[in-house]
Amino acid sequence: MNRKILKNIEWSIIVCVVILIAIGCVALYSATQSTEHDELIKQLIWLGISIPIVVAIIATDYEIIIKAAPVGYGVMLLLLVAVLFTQPINGATSWFTLGSFSLQPAEFTKIFVILLLALVISKVQKEGKNEISKPLKLGLCLLVVVVPVLLIIKQPDYGTAIAFVIATIFMLYAAGINKKYILGSVLLTIVVLPVMYLYILPDHAKTRIDVFLNPDLDPRGSGYNIIQSKLAIGSGQLLGMGVKQGNQTQLGYLYPKTTDFIFSVIGEEMGFVIAGLIIVLYVVLITKIIYIAKTAKDDKGSYVAIGIAGIFAFHMVENIGMAMGLLPITGVPLPFVSYGGSSLLTNLVLIGLVLNISGRRKKSLFIE
Burial class (CB in 10 A: 0-12, 13-18, 19+), 169: middle
Would residue 366 count as lying in a domain?
Answer: no
Q: Name the residue among 174, 148, 9 with its Cα closest to residue 77.
A: 148
pLDDT at 89: 82
C-alpha span between 341 and 143 (Å, rounded): 28
pLDDT at 363: 47
Mean pLDDT of 19-38: 94
pLDDT at 1: 64
User: Is the preceding omega at residue 256 within 30 degrees of 0, hence cis?
Assistant: yes
pLDDT at 184: 85
pLDDT at 108: 96
Whether 176 contacts 129, CB under 8 Å: yes
Would residue 368 count as lying in a domain?
Answer: no
Chain-wide mean pLDDT for the chain? Answer: 90
pLDDT at 362: 67
DSSP 223: T
Burial class (CB in 10 A: 0-12, 13-18, 19+), 368: exposed
Would residue 127 count as lying in a domain?
Answer: yes
Residue 367 clears pLDDT 80, i.e. is over it: no
Q: Name the residue among 274, 272, 265 with its Cα closest to residue 237.
A: 272
pLDDT at 82: 96
If one compares 42 and 6, the residue with the highest pLDDT of the two is: 42
Would residue 160 count as lying in a domain?
Answer: yes
Q: Name the residue among 174, 120, 110 with its Cα closest to residue 142.
A: 120
| Structural domain boundaries enclosing 299 | 3-359
Q: Torsions phi, psi of 98, nearest 5?
A: -125, 90
Lowest-confidence region among 121-130, 172-181, 328-337: 121-130
Would residue 280 count as lying in a domain?
Answer: yes
Would residue 204 count as lying in a domain?
Answer: yes
Residues for the chain: how many in total? 368
Whether 17 contacts 70, CB under 8 Å: no
How does pLDDT run across 131-141, given as a tens digit for each residue?
888 889 999 99
pLDDT at 60: 93
Would residue 364 count as lying in a domain?
Answer: no
Q: What's the pTM value of the predicted model, to 2 decimals?
A: 0.92
How does pLDDT run across 52-110, given as a tens digit for each residue?
999 999 999 999 999 999 999 999 999 999 999 998 887 889 999 887 788 999 999 99
Please give the tally of structural domains in the chain.
1
Mean pLDDT of 151-165: 93
Would residue 216 count as lying in a domain?
Answer: yes
If one compares 353 and 198, the residue with the highest pLDDT of the two is: 353
pLDDT band at 196 (very low <50, low <70, confident <90, very high): confident
pLDDT at 192: 83
How does pLDDT run across 240-288, given as a tens digit for each residue?
999 999 999 998 898 889 999 999 999 999 999 999 999 999 999 999 9
Distances (CA, A) of 45 to 55, 169, 225: 16, 34, 29
Q: What is the largest distance, in Å, between two alpha-carbon atoms of the chain? A: 61
Q: How many CA atoms lie within 13 A of 283 on its CB side?
A: 7
Residue type present at position 168: T
Q: Torsions phi, psi of 101, nearest 5?
A: -110, 160
pLDDT at 15: 97
Residue 223 clears pLDDT 70, i.e. is over it: yes
